[in-house]
Structure formats: structure tokens, C-alpha cells
Chain A
Amino acid sequence: MASDESLPTLKILMIGPSGAGKSALLIRYCDDQFDSESSTATIGVDFKVKKLSVHGKAYRLNLLDTAGQERFRTLSNSYYRGAHGVILVYDISNRESFLAMERWFEEAESNAMPGAVMYLVGSKMDKSSGRTVKTEEGIELAERHGCQFCEVSSKTRDNVRKPFVEIVDAIVKDPKLLNASSRRSGTVSVAGGSSGDSGCAC
């Protein structure tokens, strides 16, 4: 399970309004944990690392959460730098969170590198009785932005792997995007003698 520094590293961001379920999805996918009580945004890590194999080839995913900076919409340009993929999350039981997605798409499209893969996720599909956003509406919004879509439940584990597997699949199909992270020529290392500087390109 130890990270293999030589694996190709993909930087994938989670964005979307507060309370949409970004951290819950990330924690369910990475740690297979779910805390229904927790409603606070931050998970307190710079990024989570997960090794994922797609079509027999392994990748190292650096998964970044908003660290609460979505609350007042203060995500910085630097958050988006070098990201290969962006997962946009809304809550199917909260119509406002769905209506906010247009602005989140706009922010992601104007800040992420050209060609970065977007992926739309409707979360909390277990809350079917409280649903205020139809599945078709999610599909339609995703189509409009030319990206893939699914609904997930971090509580019941339904579909939690799907967004990650499918976005990685889409990223690795685009060699130009994949190579974009190895563009670090012309940069210099400032870490001096300290080891372990080779890996992270995010």
C-alpha cells in the first residue's frame, strides 16, 4: 500500500458548495468510513493519496479537498494549478446546491488547465424521499458541460468508486493532459539536501 513515487501522479480536486458531501465522498472512497454526525467541512489534510489501477495500469491519485475555502468562495487560483481532473459535487436533496453548480463550472473552467476533465456528482442519493433534484437534471447539466455524471451515496457506498474510476479513465485517455504534469522543466528544486522531494507534482 505504500505509495510508489515513480507512479504517474494525477491531481484531482473536489469542489462544490458547503455541505454538498465532498469530504464524505472522499473519506468513504479513501478510508471506507462514514460519519453521519459530521457536518464540518474540513478534513485537515493537504491532500489524500490513493493508488488506483485502471486497465491494469497503476496511478497515484492526489485528491484535494477544499479545506473549507468553498464556504465563502475563496478557493485560490493556485488550488487549481496542475489539476488533471475536477469533481463537482452537489446534494440531490438540496436544490440550491444544484443551482450553484453553474458558477462552480465557470470557476473550474476558467482556472483549471485547458483540457482538464470535469465530472459531475449528485451526492446523498440515499435521501430519495427528500430529493429535490431529478436525476435527469443532473444528466442534462453534465451534458451541457460535456462531462460525465453519476449519483452516489457515501452513506450506503453506492457508486462511490465510480466517479474516481471514470475520471481517471478519461484523464489517461488524453496523453496531452497526462503529460501536462511533467512540464516541470525549467524549475529548480529548493529543498536542498532533504530527501523525498521527487514525488509530488501538485
Chain B
Amino acid sequence: MESLSDTPWDVVIEGTGLQQSLLALALSRSNKKVLHVDQNEYYGSSEAAFSLQDVDEWVEKVNTFDTKSFRNAAIWKSPTEAGKLGVSRAYTLTLSPQIIYTKSKLLSQLVSSKVYKQLEFQAVGNWWIYDVSSVAALKRLPNGREDIFEDASIDNRSKRSLMKFLKFVVEYQNHGEIWEAVAENSFPAFLTSHFKLPESLQTVLVALTLSLDSPDDTPVGYALPRIQRHLSSIGLFGPGFGAVLPKWGGGAEIAQVACRAGAVGGGVYVLGTGIKSSQTNGEKTEVVLSNSETIVTKHLAHDPDNQRKPDTKAVSKVVAIVSSPFSTLFKSSVEGSPLAAVSFIVFPLRPSASKARLIRSTLWHTQAKRANVRQVNEQSLVSLDLAFHDEALEEVETKWNAIVESADEQKPFMQFEERTGMTDEDDDNENGY
């Protein structure tokens, strides 16, 4: 096996999370010699997805070594139910579940780069809210205007206010005079002062933002684009859903497929190998890998996971394998909509508990079996968002732009021809092999 140091690399990319993998793919198709390394033995960095066995190993690793992205990982198996679990690889537990709104540029770029052909997508279905005002019950969020009109629990005056808000939010950019001055202010207060929406409906609208902060700490300027995205995504690719999730582990699956496409474009992949140190002298950067090999490259793209400040926001997550299929939660509410693979349940904070954290739970419909595995972790990441944010793609495009200098290498970002070799037919009439 020839050694890595024999090649003069154009780019060394560290980490195989979604962003880094898309960057590697884009650069490999711009005639750059790409070396893509990851200190982990698996693809996906902090977006990785694991089988049950992999999860055991991961938990041990998080608790033994100081990883920048995760801490306090734990796993719990029900003593009575764990024996009923299926085989380890029948499960795919993802560290960073993220839905992708149908409006997201990520989907259009997966299509233009032909990467989507190796992926399967499932629909995100119902959104529920844990209704604290009545007897503990889950209430399905309205899926459109008709739903709102038919909802007997909303009085007519509130319905009119809600309609007025929805009309505003789909074109909020054109009405800067209404919200720009209060963009930093609390979103629920804005709904009260500008639209006279009752608290119960404010809770619903905050739920749609997927904000990880308490309602009062969720600013107007954050909420409006997210609610607009939610509403304008519904129905784009079919009735009854506005977001999708790649099958087999979300972002980790896209990362893997992008890495393979990058390898087809000539990129070289090494796992279990990180970057120990690097030193830039003029146009060349010397990189020492964790296996002590020294390589030379023109550009180095560090893993964003390793660049985070220690004081960034942390989120606790639980991934549970449950024994019920929860069919009611996934039941289609719109005729002709595909079977949903994801449902959201939002547990709103009581307004009085303003400093406590809003807790969200995502239910994963994959392979519900009679057992429990619990895994808790605290993660400090920019990509904590439960919905993929197009900003992540813009960062990739900016990095790509900075590395690709000449115009002939700079075709439109992430637009590639399909590379399939179509060949002659093979008939079994021929004799012999």
C-alpha cells in the first residue's frame, strides 16, 4: 500500500459529518486531490448513526475520553424487556436527528448532485402538543386552514387573529415595518401585542419554530422565518407533509453516500486517523496525522466539531427504543399522504417556569420492539437544531469557493452529471463464459 505522504494533496478534510462530506464531494468534482480523514472508525462525526452494539462502544468512548461534542452518555436496558430486542443492526440510532424541510436547499442540491439516487427519504408526519390546559392529552397541531376552521376548541375571534397572523407570516419579509423593530424581542409578547393571539395559540406557534429556548427567550426574528418555512414546505412533495428524513440514520446516511460519491470523484478516505498538528508555511501546510505520518497539502479544512468553544449551548437528548408502535401518533391525517416515519411531540413549558428548559421529544418509528434502551447525552454543537438549517450549506459553499480558484473548476456548486457506465447487453444465448 503506497503511503499517503507520497501524494501532494490539494485539500485535507478532517471529520466526516454532513458538512465536511459535502465539501469533500464538491471539491473532488472540482479536480482537487482530496484526502478525507476522520479520527473515528465510523462515518458521520457527531451526526453518526449506530447499531445497538456500536452504541455500547460509543457510550464507553464518550465516558472514557474527552470528546468535544458529547458528554454524560449513558445507556439503560430494561431488565425485563431488553431480551426481546432484535439483532443489533436492526436498529439505527442517530446522535443528531434532524428533519429536512422540503423547501431546504439541501434537497435540491442532493438532486442536482445526483447523490439523492442512493438515498431513500421518509415523510415527517403529525405534530402533537402536550396539552397542559386540559386533562393530560396530546393535541394534533392543525395541518392547514381547514383544520383551524374545524377546530372547535378555538373561538371565532382567535381564529380570525390566527388567520391574520398566518397571512402575515407567509410574506413577513414584505412587512418589515411590523416586526423589524422588535426582531430581538420575545415572540409570544409580539403575538399578544400585534395579533392578540391567546396563550394557547402562542404555544402552538412557538412549537412550530422548534426553538430549544423557552418561549419568552425565543425572539421574533428567529421565529418568523421558521414558521414561514414550516408552512410553505407542506405539500411541496406530496400531501400531508412538509419535511423528510433520510432512511437509515438521517444525516449520517447522506454523509456516507456523499463520501462514496467523493471517492468515485477520486477522493481518498481514511478512518480511525485524526489530525495531530498542522503548520502552514506560505502556500503549503504540513499536517501530522494521528498515526504520525506527515503529509503536505495546500488547504486544510478542520472538523467544525473540534473548533467549538466550551461554553456553547448544550442539549440533553434521549433516544429510546419502545415496545409500542404508537400507531395513533403516526396515523395519516390527510388523504393520500405517505406513511409517516417521524412524529413530533412538543411538551410546552408552563409560562411561570420561564427559566426551565423546554423539553422536546422526537419519536422514531423505526423498528418499535418490546424493549428499552436509553441513552442520554449532552452535546455542544452548532448543529443542535432539530431541523436542517441551510446556513450549514452556505458554509460549505463558502469553503468550496475559497479553495477552488480557477474559473474552469468553478462550475455551479453541487451540480454534477451522473456517472454511470452504460454498456452493451449480455445475452445468455452466447456459448460459454
Contact = CB atoms under 8 A, between A and B. Distances in A.
Contacts of B89: 110-111
A184 to B, nearest CB: 7
Contacts of B118: 46, 78, 202
A31 B256 contact: no
B338 A165 contact: no
- Chain A: interface secondary structure? loop
B424 A71 contact: no
A73 B1 CA distance: 12
A54 B238 CA distance: 38
Interface stretch (A87-95, A98-106, A139-147, A186-194): A186-194
Interface string A158-201: 11111011000000000000000000111111111010000010
Interface in A60-75: 67-69, 71-74
Given A46-B420, A69-B263, A192 B237 contact: yes
Interface stretch (B155-163, B178-186, B264-272, B297-305): B264-272
B66 to A, nearest CB: 25
Interface in B287-316: none
Given A30-B421, A49-B422, A188 B241 contact: yes
A31 B248 contact: no
A32 B258 CA distance: 30
Interface residues of A, number: 55
B336 to A, nearest CB: 12
A45 B420 contact: yes
A78 B256 contact: yes
B268 A68 contact: yes
Contacts of B110: 190
Interface string B39-71: 000010000000000000000000000000000
A48 B428 contact: no
A48 B248 contact: no
Interface centre among B123, B241, B256 (most CB of A within 10 A): B256
A6 interface: no
Nearest to A199: B117
A194 B418 contact: no
B1 A18 contact: yes
B98 to A, nearest CB: 15
A97 B294 CA distance: 28
A31 B421 contact: yes
Contact of A45 (B116, B268, B419): B419
Nearest to A62: B420
Interface centre among A31, A54, A67 (most CB of B within 10 A): A67
Contact of A52 (B253, B271, B426): B426
A57 to B, nearest CB: 9
Given A45-B264, A188-B244, A74 B271 contact: yes
A54 B89 CA distance: 33
A188 B118 CA distance: 13
Contacts of B418: 46
B102 A3 contact: no
A190 B256 contact: no
Contacts of A127: none
Q: Which 9 A-B pairs have the closest CB atoms?
A: A162-B433, A76-B256, A67-B263, A48-B421, A78-B256, A74-B269, A30-B423, A161-B433, A45-B419
8 contacts: A44-B266, A46-B420, A51-B426, A69-B259, A72-B269, A74-B43, A188-B122, A191-B116
